[in-house]
Amino acid sequence: MRTLVLAAAVLAASSSPSSADLGEPVPPRARQLAERGRELHERGDYARAIAAFKEAYVLAPSPGLLFNLAQAYRLQGQCDDAALMYRRYIAAVPERTSGRALAEGHLATVVRCVQKRSLNLPPDAAMANIPAPPAPAPDPIFADTPAPGRPHGKVMRRIGLGATLGGAVALGAAAYYGVRAHNASADVERLYAAGESWRVIQPIHARGERAELAATWLGIGGGAAAVAGITLLVLGRHTEHAPPIAIAPAKGGVQAELSWAF
């Protein structure tokens, strides 16, 4: 099931504490960013959706955008940041606000996720499968769909591993043919010294040239594959473990939090 409510509608709501209480209009840029974040979220591009929601929140803070951030973090598998955003949202809305029960249910799920990770236990099979009523506009957006994690990083790491292994095999074959070429060269020199005819030496010489050519091309290809594979492994790991940034309201402004695992 997917419950969709436009983020732009959240920003336009008269109940927004930032726009209504201060009497300031919502900047058009904030509306555009919120709508952009919704579109990215629907496509499953949670990282870019989070970035758009954060920019919108800086321009026009609203509880609805806190919920949007929490949902995107949860579906991306970042339980710590999702829990922080759900708590910020719950603290910012009245007790009877529609959608608060949904946020509290998701908060319980991501808190369990954090606890299991701290104990090195596997997470729940589907973090999003929590019975909860749908949230009407202009409250929280988006549906309960399983978090897919970061498939691009995983794909890059798998391709990188395959390329690295293929490169290692090619380099091993290059070393084998290099030994054969060296042995053939030594045999040719020995036969020349012994006064053998070219008819006897020529097949050995040709075999050595073929082995040398194979060693050269396998060495070049294997080295290139190994370098590309290692690069993809590093990039894939970086993509999966990119440092999360959390943004939340604070007294007199906005608080940004950056976390990195060592």
Q: How far apart are CA 181 and CA 178, in angstroms?
A: 5
Closest residue by Cα to residue 255 from 17, 52, 58, 10: 58
Q: Where are the alpha helices (DSSP H) in the chain?
A: 7-12, 19-22, 28-42, 46-59, 63-76, 79-92, 100-118, 151-194, 198-240
Confidence (pLDDT) at 44: 92
Confidence (pLDDT) at 191: 84
Q: Tell me the mean pLDDT per 10 residues along the chain, length 262.
A: 38 36 67 93 93 93 91 92 93 80 88 83 53 38 41 73 88 91 88 83 88 90 88 72 51 53 42
Confidence (pLDDT) at 193: 86
Q: How far apart are CA 160 and CA 240, in angstroms?
A: 14
Residue 147 CB contacts under 8 Å (≥ 6 apart), including other chains = 74, 75, 76, 77, 127, 128
DSSP readout, 152-200? HHHHHHHHHHHHHHHHHHHHHHHHHHHHHHHHHHHHHHHHHHHT--HHH
**pTM as predicted:** 0.42
Domains in the chain: boundaries: 7-149, 152-239
- Identify residue 123 by its one-letter amino acid code: P
The CATH label, of 1.10.10.10, 3.60.15.10, 1.25.40.10, 3.10.580.10, for the domain at 7-149 is 1.25.40.10
Closest residue by Cα to residue 69 from 91, 87, 43: 87
Confidence (pLDDT) at 252: 56
